[in-house]
Structure 1
Amino acid sequence: MKKMCIAFFMTILINIPCFAVQIDEDILLKKANQEFYNNPNESIKIVKQLLKKEKNADKIIQLYHIISTAELTKGNLKVSLQYLLKARELVLQSNDVKRKTSFFITAALQYEQMELDAKTLESLDEGEQYLSKIPDGEYYKYFEVGRMNLVRGMISKKQNNPEIALKSFQDAVKSFEKITEVEKTYYNQSILFFYIGNCFLDLGLSEKAEIAFSKAYHLAIITNSNSLQSYALKGLSQIKKIKHQNLQALEYLKNAENKSEKTYDSTLLEEIYKEMADNYLVMGNQNYYQLYSKKLQELQFKREQLELSSINESMNAQNKNAATKIEELSSKNKNSLILSITMGCTICLGIFLWAYKLMIRNKKSAKEIQKLVQPVS
C-alpha cells in the first residue's frame, strides 16, 4: 500500500510539470493566434518557438497557418506562401475532413489577399468539396459556409460586381447568425460588415455604408483587433469625406493611423495616408498634404523594394535550381559516356574473344579436315 502511495505521488510529481508545460504552450498558441494582426512579429516569434518542440501534425498545421498569416500581415508574401504550402502538404496527409475544409477556405482567404485569383478559386473549390461531406446543421458547417461566402464576396468586389458581392456577404452574415456561440464569429463579421460598407459605397448608398462601417467598428472593439478597428475607422472617414466633413474624417483617420501602426500592416497604412493626404488637399493644407504624400510614397517604395527582393530571391532560387539541374545533367552525361565506353569495350572484348574462339575452332576443324583428306599410305 505504501509503495502504491509513493508511486501515485511520484506520478503526480512527474505529470504536474508536463501539465504545466502543456498549459504554457496552449497559452502561447492562443496568444500567437490573437496577435498575428495586432503584433505579427510577436506572433512569429512565438510560433517559431513552438515549432521547435511540436510533434502533433494538426498543431503544426495550425502553427504554419498562424505564421503564414502573420507574414502576410507584414507584406512578406513569399515567406507567407512558403508556410502555407508547408501546411498544405501536411493537410493532404490528414483524414480529418473538417481540418481539410478549414485549411482550404483559410488558404483561399490568404490567396485572395495575395491577389492570386486562380489559387483562391482553386482552394475554394477544394474546400467546398470537403465541406459537402460535413452534415448540415453543424456549427462548423455554418461557420465555414459563412467564410466561403466571405471569400466569394471579396472576389466579386474585386471584379467590380458590388451587387453580387453584397449578396455573398449578406449570405455569410446569415450563416454566422445561425451559430449559437455568436461571439466566435465577431472577428469574421467585422470583416464582413467592412466589405458590406464598401459595397454600399460603390452603389452610392452612403447612409447604409455608414451603418455597416459602424457595425464593423463595434465588432472590432469587442475582438480587440487594432487592424479591424483601423479598417472600420477608415471606412467611417470615407463617409465623412463624402459629406465634406473633412475634420471629422481626419479624426477617424488619425485614430486609425495610431492603431494601424501597432499592426505593421503597410497596406492599411498606405490607404490611411492616402485618405489623409486627400482630406488635407481638399482643406487646402499643403504642408500636411505634402507630409502624408511623402509618407505614402516612402511606404510604397518600401513595399516595392520588398516585392523586388522577393522576385530576386525567387529568380536566384530558380537560377540555382537550373544550375543544379545542368550540373546533374552534365554528371549524368559524363556517367553515360563512361558507361558507353565501358559497354563498348566490353562488347569489343566479347567480339574479340568470340572471334578468337572461332579462329581456334576453325584451325582445329581445318586440321581435322586435312587429316581426313590426307591420302592413306
Structure 2
Amino acid sequence: MDTKKKINFFFILAVGLLTASTLYAQNYKKLDSVLIAAGNEIYINPDNAIKIGENIVKQAEGKVDYKIKAYKLISDAYSAKRDYEKALEYLINASELLNESNDKLLKITIVNKTGIQYHQLKVYDKAIQYLDQAEQLISEYPNKDSIHSELGKNFIVRGFIYKEKLSCAIAIAYIDRGIAELKKSKDKAGIAPKISIAIYNKGNCYLLMYNNKLALESFNESAKFAKEVNAKSLEAFALKGSAKVYTLEGKNLEAIKALNQALNLSSEVNDLILNQEIYKGLAENYLATNQWEQFKINQAKFIDVQKLIKDRERNSVGESLGVKELELKAKRTELSNKFYYLLLFLFILLVLIVLFFYVIIKRKGKEIEAVKNQIYVLQNKKAKEA
C-alpha cells in the first residue's frame, strides 16, 4: 500500500470511528430526552410512561445507567397508579444493577426512591433506614447544586412519615424544608409535581389541625403547581382536598362541583385511591343535599372501588412480607456462614494449640532424656574411677 492510499485508508477509518462515536452519543442523548419527557407523563398517562420505560430497557443493552433510569421510570409510573407491588418489583431490578454503575447521583436517586417505596408500603422503619442512607450519600456528594431535588424529596417523605408517627407540626416543618430544596432545583418542570404533592399533604395536615383556611389555601396552591405541568391526577387530588373543606363548612354544592371536576380529570388516570375518595365525597354530599339517586350511584361505585383496593393492598402486603422474608433468610445465611467460619477458626486454633504443646512436650522430653543420659554417663565415670 503506497503512502497516498495509507493516508486515505486512515482518513476513512478516522471519519468512520468519529461518525460511529457521534451516532452513539446522539443515541444516548436521545434516550435522555425520552426519559425526561416520559417522566413528565407519569401523572398524566402512567401507562404510556411504563411502555416508554420498557422500550428504553430493550434499547439500553450495554448501558447500565439507562437501564437503571428506565426501571426507576417504570417503578414511578406504577407508584402513580398505586400498584406498589409492581413498583417495588421494578425498583428491585434497578437496585440490582447499582453495583455496575459509577454514577453516584444515580445511586442516591435509587436509594432515596427505595425509602419512598417503603413509605408507600407503610414499612416506616425500613423507609427511615433508606432515607438516612440517602441523606448520608447526599452529604458526601461534591456537587451540591445537583442534589436539591433528591434532598427535597428526602425531607418531604420524612414529613409524610412524621405525620403518621409523630405530629402534623413536625411534618409541616419537614415538608417546608423539602419544598425549599425543590425550589432550588433547575429542573422546574420536574419539581412541579413533587411540590404539588408536598403542598397537598400540608393541606391534609392543616385539616387535621382544624385550620380550614390554610388547608384550602394549600389545596388551591397544590392545584396551581399541578396545572403547570398538566398533572391531572395531582390536580384532581387537590380539588378533592378543596371539596373536603367545602363539605366541612356545609358548602355541599361547591363540594359536588369540585368533586365532579376531579372525577373528570381522574378518568384518564385510573387511580383507585383517588376514585374511591371522590365517590365517597360525592355520595356524602349528594346525601346531604337529598339527591338520593346520585347518592346510591356513587355509594355503589365507592364500594366497588374499595373492594379492588383491598385486593391490591393484600398483594402489596404479601410482596412486602416476601421482601422481609428474603432479608431475614439472607441474614440467617450470613449468620450461619459466620458461625461456620468461627467454628473453623476455633478448630484450627485448637489444632495449633495442640501442636504447640505437643512440640513443647516433645522438646522437653528430649531435654529430660539428654539430662538422664548425662547423669548416667557421669555415674558410670565415677564408678570406674572408684
Would the TM-score normalized by the shorter structure come out above 0.5? yes
Q: Which residue of structure 1 lines up, in the alignment, with residue 203 of structure 2?
A: 197
Q: Which residue of structure 1 lines up, in the alignment, with residue 93 of structure 2?
A: 86
Q: CA deviation at 1:144?
A: 2.4
Measure the CA separation in 2 of the matches of 1:314 and 1:131: 27
8 Å Cα contact 1:227/1:260 also seen in 2:
yes
Q: CA-to-partner distance for each residue in 1:76-115, whole Å, 9 max, x for gaps?
A: 3322211111211222444433222222222222221222
Q: Which residue of structure 1 lines up, in the alignment, with residue 214 of structure 2?
A: 208
Q: Which residue of structure 2 lines up, in the alignment, with residue 111 of structure 1?
A: 118
Change (3 A) 1:101 1:266: same
Measure the CA separation in 2 of the matches of 1:73 and 1:169: 20
Measure the CA separation in 2 of the matches of 1:39 and 1:236: 24
SS in 2 for 1:303: helix
Q: Which residue of structure 2 lines up, in the alignment, with residue 224 of structure 1?
A: 230
**Are residues 1:30 and 2:36 paired?**
yes
Q: Which residue of structure 2 lines up, in the alignment, with residue 257 of structure 1?
A: 263
Measure the CA separation in 1 of the matches of 2:188 and 2:32: 23
SS in 2 for 1:38: coil
Q: 1:291 aligns with which of 297, 303, 306?
A: 297
Q: CA deviation at 1:165?
A: 0.7
Measure the CA separation in 2 of the matches of 1:96 and 1:71: 24
Q: Which residue of structure 2 lines up, in the alignment, with residue 166 of structure 1?
A: 172
Measure the CA separation in 2 of the matches of 1:300 and 1:287: 20
Q: CA deviation at 1:3?
A: 7.2
Change (3 A) 1:174 1:293: same
Change (3 A) 1:10 1:183: closer
Q: Which residue of structure 2 lines up, in the alignment, with residue 276 of structure 1?
A: 282
Q: CA deviation at 1:273?
A: 1.2
Q: CA-to-partner distance for each residue in 1:23-66, whole Å, 9 max, x for gaps?
A: 65444333332222322221222211221121311111111111
Q: CA-to-partner distance for each residue in 1:129-169, whole Å, 9 max, x for gaps?
A: 2112024x822333322211101110112236111111111
Q: Which residue of structure 1 lines up, in the alignment, with residue 329 of structure 2?
A: none
**Are residues 1:63 and 2:70 paired?**
yes
Measure the CA separation in 2 of the matches of 1:155 and 1:184: 23
Change (3 A) 1:238 1:314: closer
8 Å Cα contact 1:69/1:110 also seen in 2:
no
Q: Which residue of structure 1 lines up, in the alignment, with residue 150 of structure 2?
A: 144
SS in 2 for 1:284: coil
Change (3 A) 1:289 1:211: same
Measure the CA separation in 1 of the matches of 2:242 and 2:317: 36
Measure the CA separation in 1 of the matches of 2:179 and 2:34: 31
Q: CA deviation at 1:217?
A: 0.7
Measure the CA separation in 1 of the matches of 2:313 and 2:156: 27
Change (3 A) 1:102 1:255: same
Change (3 A) 1:21 1:145: closer
Q: CA deviation at 1:314?
A: 9.7
Q: 1:131 aligns with which of 107, 125, 138?
A: 138
Q: Which residue of structure 2 lines up, in the alignment, with residue 99 of structure 1?
A: 106
8 Å Cα contact 1:40/1:264 also seen in 2:
no
Measure the CA separation in 1 of the matches of 2:320 and 2:116: 23
8 Å Cα contact 2:44/2:230 also seen in 1:
no
Mean CA deviation greater in 123-132 or 23-32? 23-32
SS in 1 for 2:114: helix
RMSD across aligned positions (CA) = 3.1
Measure the CA separation in 2 of the matches of 1:213 and 1:311: 30
SS in 1 for 2:290: coil
8 Å Cα contact 1:280/1:289 also seen in 2:
yes
SS in 2 for 1:268: helix
Measure the CA separation in 1 of the matches of 2:16 and 2:172: 61
Q: CA deviation at 1:254?
A: 1.0
Q: Percent identity among equivalent residues?
A: 28
What TM-score does the superposition give when structure 1 sets the normalisation length? 0.74
**Are residues 1:40 and 2:46 paired?**
yes
Q: How many residues align?
A: 318
Q: Following superposition, which runs of at least 4 residues in structure 1 exceed 6 angstroms of deviation?
A: 1-17, 310-318
Q: CA deviation at 1:308?
A: 4.8
